[in-house]
Structure 1
Amino acid sequence: MMTPALPTSRASNDRTAALDESITAWALAARGGDPDAVERFVRALQRDVRRYVAHLCADPQAVDDLAQDTFLRALAGLHSFEGRSSARAWLLSIARRAVMDSYRYAASRPRLSDVPDWQLAVELAQPCDLPGFDDGVALLDLLATLPDERREAFVLTQLAGLPYAEAAEVSDCPVGTVRSRVARARATLVDLLAEPAAPAAV
């Protein structure tokens, strides 16, 4: 059974801020050519980028490619990173652009499939025996019911751990809009979690 997420504690926020400072320092050092800093920067944000891309992207098979594309773009553009925002916010902005570019590219090309039921083929290709898999699927199903803007705001702040100001920067909207979207997303998720489960068909 899933329970609503509890508000993050001050200690948790302090840890996230300290980690963000370290990641930003690694990005700045990587910009200067430090190979160890490049590796630390990539490792520290790999999971966040993949998770964010997965929530933006409708094609689960494209997530790894888009995450890799994000890091390739970031490493190629490190010379322009000046540390005015956190490296996490900067990288997630790049991830967002990578996903949007992939949508534009896909929209300009015809869709071909050599499998009659391509949706079933995609579902069968997903792992289903991992610990916590069912809860993860349930969370994805709940998040999928949210409007795109609310889902993005919720994922950025509640899953990726970005401060509201940086989430606003990534989403290119005012901070108040992000706060409103997160509040509405939480309310919707709490309502969905409170709904009684449908009886199983006999």
Structure 2
Amino acid sequence: MITPTLTAARDDHDQRAERESRDASITEWALAARGGDPAAVERFVGALHRDVQRFVAHLCADPQAVDDLAQDTFLRALGSLHRFEGRCSARTWLLSIARRAVTDSFRHAASRPRLSDVPDWRLAVERSQPHGLPGFDDGIALADLLGALPGERREAFVLTQVLGLSYEDVARLTGCPVGTIRSRVARARATLLESVREAEGEAEGVAEGEAA
């Protein structure tokens, strides 16, 4: 009889093996694209487009900028693909470019004069709406919970828990020790769990009040 712990360990191993196999294929496409194969370029972009969008969305916290940042990321990547040698996975390499694209956008925005100190209330309202993500009831959205985390913890959590990169890959991508990445993820997970518990408690309180 296989215990639940062994089953979970086997599932984790299978998922990791599947992810590594997928990353290996994407890296091969990137190397072929570097050699001028247009079909490989299409496969490379198509395989990672969603990951890039999700990553920049969590980093920049501006829904209006996601598509532009994703496009900028791929333009940068394709322009420097001739320098990609496959020393890391193409996905890790591309996400590091996405990270720089977001950082550059922040610097550009900071250098421009602000026209008003009044926040865009329409965007604030749109971002506060439930996103309908599975596992989050009572209007709790994962994007909102992640948005409340400190930037470094949010980035580490998204890369490892949402996009599935290994701690070692994230350490290389961010230039931090593996232990630091593990600590950030653990702290982020603890904060998220506490936020969910608090929200559930508030929801129960409202329900009890309405029942009374």
Matched with 2:3 is none
Deviations 1:44-94 (A, max 9, x none): 100110000011103221111001000000000000000000000000000
Match of 1:139 among 139, 142, 148: 142
Match of 2:66 among 63, 75, 95: 63
2:165 is the alignment partner of 1:169: no
Residue aligning to 1:183? 186
Spell out the pairing of 1:17-166 with structure 2 (5 A cutoff): 17-112=20-115, 119-123=120-124, 132=133, 135=136, 138-166=141-169
Matches of 1:170 and 1:129, distance apart in 2: 31
1:12 corresponding residue in structure 2: 15
Residue-by-residue CA offset, 1:114-165 (whole Å, 9 max, x unaligned): xx96522224667x79764894961112112221111100000011111111
Aligned match for 2:201, one of 179, 197, 201 = 197
Gaps of 5+ in 2: 1-7
Percent identity, aligned pairs only, is 61
More helix by share: 2
Aligned length: 195
CA RMSD across the alignment: 2.7
Q: 1:55 to 1:35 in 2, by over 3 A?
A: same
TM-aligned CA distance change 1:192 to 1:130, over 3 Å? closer
More divergent stretch after superposition (6-15 vs 101-110): 6-15
CA distance change for structure 1 residues 32 and 53 in 2, over 3 Å: closer, same or farther? same
TM-score, structure 1 length as denominator? 0.86
